Amino acid sequence: MARKVEVVICGKVITLKSNEEEAHLQRIARYIDQKMAELTEVNTTASIDERVRTLLIALNISDDYFKAADRLARMDVEQEKYISEIGRMQQENMLLKEKFHALEAEHARLQAEHDEYVEVFDSVKQSENVISMSRNDQRKAGFR
């Protein structure tokens, strides 16, 4: 539903009829008022034709618009690069996780192998200790 909103541009109250929020319309009015004030500061001759002044303001606003559109387009390209980089990094992360899990499995296998060797070594060491015992010590220890 269209509503009436009063805005001030160049000291003149203008009534707008719009479906837009009042705050949005006030913001636009302030922007146009600012552009008109900038033109007045640059142009010291007060005799500037109303149509030329309107055209200059339109050119200034169009310049702002195209600069913003160009910036948005550059940001879109940059965003696509970031999205692509994120995809590449996610893929790399997945590969690294797979490699990590493979290394964990290899570590567990090597740890089990190590534990087995330690067990065999301890067994051999114990046998060597028994062999190196004198016969008398072996009998006392229960070996025959």
Task: Kindly write down the DSSP assignment for every residue of 69-102, as one continuous string.
Answer: HHHHHHHHHHHHHHHHHHHHHHHHHHHHHHHHHH
Give the pTM. Answer: 0.56
Output the pLDDT for position 60.
92
Q: pLDDT for 110-140, tens place per residue?
A: 999 999 999 988 888 777 766 666 666 656 6
Kindly report the number of other CB atoms within 10 A of residue 29's CB atom: 17
At 31-49, the pLDDT tens digits run 999 998 888 777 655 567 8
SS3 assignment, position 16: strand
Which SS3 state, helix, strand or coil, does residue 3 take?
strand
For 114, phi and psi rounded to 5 degrees? Answer: -60, -45
With cut-offs at 50, 70 and 90, classify the pLDDT of residue 51. Answer: confident
Domains located in the chain, CATH noted: 1-48 (3.30.160)
